[in-house]
Amino acid sequence: MARVPSGVGPETQVRCTACGTTFKLKEVTTALQQPKTDSGEVRPSEESVDAVVGATLGGFHIIEEIGSGGMGTAYKAVQLSLDRLVAVKVLSKQFTQDPKFVERFLRESKVMSALDHPNVVTIYDRDRQGDLLYFAMEYVDGPSLGSLLRTCGGRVNVGEAVRITRQVGAGLSYAHQEGIVHRDIKPSGR
């Protein structure tokens, strides 16, 4: 995760603390934290998963929840027009009434849609249906890095660690070259 000092905005020259690359920012986003219970578990978002699963948003039929984060929930879906699996990220209802969060969500999808790299997911579409704001993106099948690490007790062999690190680094390097810092890198979607 790249940390950018408070008050730093687009068009500011910065140096990545992870890799040392210096570049001009195009976009700055802030990672939000999901509310947690006293035991430290993430509380479910206020929208009901049941209300979205099985529904159709625009041209996307929602199959199941696949992850959640500070701003919303991601679902596995089928893009009906092309009969392909996609991921649909829905902005949490608590944020849809706040113009600042709506603008940030729309800006995030637009910035991501301009990226074209094998280690960065592709954004296909964004839209609003009723009070739900969402964007559809490439669906990457398989376990998250977090899931893989839990399965193998937190250890992978050196070759696998290098392979994963190179892929993540290549995607982040490309984003840096495009002036984008992703400040919420984590091994899983939660």
CA distance 156 to 166: 14
Cα–Cα distances in Å, from 94 out to 71, 90, 99? Answer: 9, 11, 11
Query: 115, 175 in Cβ contact below 8 A?
Result: yes
Q: Is 184 a catalytic residue?
A: yes
Measured distance CA(146)–CA(53) in Å, rounded: 24
The residue among 121, 19, 25 whose CA lies nearest residue 74 is: 121
Cα separation, 105 vs 90, in Å, equals 9
Of 63, 35, 131, 61, which Cα lies nearest the Cα of 91? 131
Active site residues: 184
